[in-house]
Structure 1
Amino acid sequence: MVSVLFVCLGNICRSPMAEAVLRHKLRQQGLEEKVHVDSAGTGDWHVGAPPHHGTRAILARQGISYEGIKARQINNEDLTRFEYIVVMEDKNMASIEQLAGYTDKRFCRLTDFIGDPNYTKVPDPYFTGHFEETYRLVEAGCEGLIRTIRARGKI
């Protein structure tokens, strides 16, 4: 089984949105049993909290469930347990590399899967308020991630 962990700062906006979107897309394609999806934050401010109301609202408008998603902080076990550790921006990358004490090809940016060099990060809507833009980038990144996993013969 392929495993994907999405990582952002507080695990209430971007990474839970990506977790919900990827699960939804996998379910639509009958692949939900082939890919384990989770999310975590680099910080501990929101541990146990549901996704941000802006994330919940946009997911609900898209008909995507966020049931059962609660914020948690990334830990050392995650670094060995997940095949893909997908961050939203360079600050998240630096945090997981510091936690790990090394760099790893499993650590990647969600924007790496969009295929457009103009996008290098998924902006944090907690600060920008732009949940629509975040959703658009998350959706494109998740579609690209599925294509990548397929191309590698993992699903």
Structure 2
Amino acid sequence: MFNSILFVCIGNICRSPTAEYLMLHKLKGRNVKVSSAGLGALVGKPIDATAGQLLAEHGVDATVHAARQLRSDHLTQADLILTMDQGMVHNISSMTPQVSGKTFLLGKWHNDATVADPYRKSREAFEHVYKALDKYTDDWLKYL
């Protein structure tokens, strides 16, 4: 049973907060802590406007999000760590080796699919990422 899920990307303003708020929405009423952080976070910044707008269009409110820098204690406290690409898995394993057994790609159930960074790209890029994050978070629900 996973009681604490941590999503990780780079800046913590696009992919990981989108995944965080999608999962929070999907787990509403369940006692699971969901959070996100960035390997190179834009600390204190809100979710990217386009990412936030897409969430809002699907009934998910992420207006309270503030980017935070990933720390070792975030990793050790999480039961499950989900990242956007294999490089992040390696960075996390280097940073805190003892968490390597609970760190996976968010797209694990889709042949270890990665999620491209939409930062400073078109709305269409954000829509593509949103759809992937929605599908990949759904895939994890049966394991939570």
Return the TM-score normalized by structure 1.
Answer: 0.85
Look up the equivalent residue of 2:135 and give its one-letter code: A
Residues 55-94 of structure 1 mapped to structure 2, 5 A cutoff: 55-94=51-90
Give ranges in structure 1 of 5+ residues lacking alignment.
Answer: 150-155
Q: Distance in 2 between matches of 1:91 and 1:54?
A: 25
What secondary structure, in the 3-state scheme, does the structure 2 residue paired with 1:18 have? helix
State the number of aligned residues: 141
Shift of 1:111: 0.1
Q: Distance in 1 between matches of 2:49 and 2:134?
A: 18
Structure 1 segments of 4+ aligned residues over 4 angstroms from their partners: none
Residue 152 of structure 1 aligns with which residue? Answer: none
Q: Distance in 2 between matches of 1:67 and 1:11?
A: 14
Look up the equivalent residue of 1:70 and give its one-letter code: A
Residues 24-63 of structure 1 mapped to structure 2, 5 A cutoff: 24-27=25-28, 30-31=29-30, 34-44=31-41, 46-63=42-59
Residue 121 of structure 1 aligns with which residue? Answer: 114
Look up the equivalent residue of 1:90 and give its one-letter code: Q
Q: Distance in 2 between matches of 1:104 and 1:94?
A: 8
Q: Distance in 2 between matches of 1:25 and 1:69?
A: 17
Q: Which range moved further: 96-105 or 5-14?
A: 96-105
Residue 131 of structure 1 aligns with which residue? Answer: 126
CA RMSD, 1 decimal: 1.6
Q: Which deviations, in whole Å up to 9, do the C-alpha atoms of 1:86-141 show, x marking residues without a partner?
A: 001112112211211456221001001xx332x62011111543011111111111
Change beyond 3 A, Cα 1:145–1:121: same
Residue 101 of structure 2 aligns with which residue? Answer: 105
Residue 153 of structure 1 aligns with which residue? Answer: none
Q: Distance in 2 between matches of 1:146 and 1:67?
A: 24
Q: Is 1:8 the equivalent of 2:9?
A: yes
Give ranges in structure 2 of 5+ residues lacking alignment.
Answer: none
Q: Percent identity?
A: 33
Look up the equivalent residue of 2:142 and give its one-letter code: R
